Amino acid sequence: MHIDADSTDLLPSSHEEMAPCRSLRETMLARLLRQLAVGSLTVVTPEGRRLVARGPLPGPEATLVLHRWRAMRRLATGGDVGFSEAYIAGDWSSPDLPAFIDCAARNIPRLAAQLAALPPLRLWNRLRHLLHANSKSGSRRNISFHYDLGNEFYRAWLDASMSYSSAIYTDPGQSLEAAQQAKLARIIELVDARPGQRVLEIGCGWGSLAAALARRGIDVVGITLSREQLADGRALIAAQPMLAAHAELRLQDYRDVNGRYDRIVSIEMLEAVGEAYWPIYFTKLRQCLNPGGTAVLQVITIAEDRFEDYRRNTDFIQRHIFPGGMLPTKTHIAEQARRAGLELVATEAFGPSYAITLAEWRARFLAARDELERQGFGSDFRRLWEYYLSYCEGGFRAGAIDVGLYTLRG
């Protein structure tokens, strides 16, 4: 790979902080850029200098604009979390943030050693993460932190079904609304429940899947730990006698569920369980599932070769978005199911659909700026969530994370 430097397209210099020698800073930055193995990255310094790094392998073309050198200091001392906080503070930007994160994710295996936070900060971030363990009380706090931002907040940028999980895009140019309906239809097909059968939904969100099942005469019990989601979901069910006759939504922890069900469905819930509680979650699935019954899980997974590093280092999502969260690998899902006495009978992955879903969410989120401001969400919060949506989209583009439907048999 090689690095080009020029002085074109000068940007205004930042005078907010006294800086060490520019050449030393650029030397350190160039040393980092030399590790680029995939794609290309153009870095524009606060003084307007442009450094262009090209890896030997093709990949995304990205641009990083440094508004303050403080961003690199935060990267050096705080790793992934520090660099995300630098974005929120306005220390850097990118004309295509998901492309930049895609490029970074593809190069992490080479960059990881140089991008890790300082040991004391790594330990501090890890301890903070452990303090958010998903005990029953911890789970209530963690879920409330993310999902109880308010139903109007999510309504401002989700589709009308309030589906806050990946859609399944089946046709080019398909709308988010159609793709979310395609996802619901595929889940219902895999669940394969008949009228009169009982279905448990662990993590029922705002009730769209429970309502869809109830319309088919299927008896559904949906559980959530979000009071905001529960209020909206119950209103949806109560508005239609057909739904009220077949669906019941509860504020309940999955560990407190009793009884047997013919089917269980859980959409992007396992990610919030926490590694220490995976065995309890899968054991509860088996205990609640009638013999020969089916469970369908939609799960975001992390690539196998990235898990150990991810496990050791708290990332941006765990620190700022989903406290207590932990992505499993596909192997973990199969192993945990087997140990609980469940058989994994089918897997369908659709990571590219999540990248498209996130891009659409981000566009709608940014378009809802005025509405979100009226709701009291300021610029720092909006930058945090723009980064979150871009961060996830870039991860799916790079293949660092994936999403799939997993069908288990009791």
Catalytic residues: 392
What is the distance between the alpha carbons of residues 246 and 214, in angstroms, rounded to a whole number? 5
What is the distance between the alpha carbons of residues 223 and 396, in angstroms, rounded to a whole number? 28
Contact 192, 113 (CB under 8 A): no
Within 13 Å of residue 75, how many CA atoms lie on the same side as its CB?
A: 18
DSSP character string of 138-188: HHHHHHHHHHTT-HHHHHTTS-TT---S-----STT--HHHHHHHHHHHHH
Contacts 24+ apart (CB under 8 A), 362-368: 362/98, 362/386, 362/389, 362/390, 362/393, 364/156, 364/157, 364/158, 364/176, 365/156, 365/157, 365/389, 367/157, 368/156, 368/157
Phi, psi of 378 (to 5 degrees): -80, -175
DSSP character string of 245-295: HHEEEEE--GGG--S-EEEEEEES-GGGT-GGGHHHHHHHHHHHEEEEEEE
Measured CA distances, 201 to 8, 221, 252, 266, 385 (Å): 57, 6, 11, 6, 27
Sign of CA dihedral 42, 44, 45, 47: positive
What is the distance between the alpha carbons of residues 129 and 121, in angstroms, rounded to a whole number? 12
Contact 192, 263 (CB under 8 A): yes
How are beta strands 198-202 and 219-224 bridged, if at all? Answer: parallel
CA-wise closest residue to 143 among 238, 23, 271: 271
